[in-house]
Amino acid sequence: MNRGLDRQVVFHTTDDRLDFGRLIEAAHERCGVTVLAYCLMDNHFHLVVSCPDGGLSPFMQDVSAKFTRHNNERHGGDGPVFRGRFASRPIRDERYLVNAVRYVHRNPLDLGPSCDLAAYRWSSHRTYLGLRRAPDWLSVSPVLEWFDGPSAFDTFVRAAPPATVVGSASAADLVGALEMAVSRHADGLDRSTRGVVRTCAYLLLRRLEPRSADALVRWLGPSSEDALHQARLRAERHARSEPHYERVVADAIALVSRCV
């Protein structure tokens, strides 16, 4: 994923969004990268991709550099459009893949809870539901094969994610999910990414089964039980004053919970 420099709008017009798709198509052919899901919002995008030959970096560099040049030409800009290098996290298993696609397809709900995901034009959800033909660079079968048809997938995406992690998850998966969620909510957070991830990790502890909680505590590395207790209290105070922290935790849970 990536977002606009200084949180600025990236996709101003329909032409911007269509251009981004054309650039993905061209880079897909050159780099051997297939998109499994996508969502374009005004100031950021998410892609779930398969790159078995390791072509992720050239793929993203090609798309981002050309989009920046075209965007500046269309809108009279000069300089970078995105905040820097894209952020990415590996997807280690099918559970994480299915949840990541749900997470990406739910992005338009940031516009309001009444947003109709099936009507949102700039995500792959409509293609998953059979309402639009899949372009050559998009593959929906690796995820849809987990469901009894598009309707079951739609129900899964629309259903509220669990409030606690269902099943165990490794510290690496938990931290990766928090980092992805922090990137999504960066507009509402005024601390460094690392600081927010650690704060949200302490908030997440109460939502975990013991094995996952122990793994996350080892990653956090508090010096003592008292230090752990004090850090959790500070995290709770942050959450009470800033609702985005709980949203980050909820998004992370949605990414790592077992698909049921």
pLDDT value of position 183: 81
- For the domain made up of 2-75, the CATH class stated in words is alpha beta
CA distance 187 to 184: 8
Strand order in the sheet with 2-3: 2-3, 44-50, 34-40
**How many other C-beta atoms are found inside a 10 Å radius of the C-beta of residue 96?**
22
CB contact at 8 A, 123 and 108: yes
Show the beta-strand stretches assigned E in the chain.
2-3, 34-40, 44-50
Residue spans of the domains in the chain: they are: 2-75, 94-158, 171-256
Q: Model confidence over 185-238: pLDDT tens digits?
A: 776 665 677 888 999 999 999 999 899 999 999 999 999 999 999 999 999 998
Q: Model confidence over 111-129: pLDDT tens digits?
A: 888 889 999 999 999 999 9
**How many other C-beta atoms are found inside a 10 Å radius of the C-beta of residue 30?**
11
pLDDT value of position 92: 81
pLDDT value of position 231: 94
- CA 68: distance to chain centroid? 21
pLDDT value of position 198: 93
Using DSSP's 3-state secondary structure scheme, residue 166 falls into: coil
pLDDT value of position 189: 63
Scan for tokens 């077992």, then name that residue.
258
Q: What is the DSSP letter of 164?
A: S
Handedness of CA 103, 41, 91, 206 (dihedral sign): negative
CB contact at 8 A, 129 and 121: no
Ramachandran quadrant class, 253 (left: phi over 0; alpha: psi -120 to 50; beta: rest): alpha
Amino acid at 250: A
CA distance 105 to 147: 16
The span from the first CA to the last CA of the chain, in angstroms, equals: 26
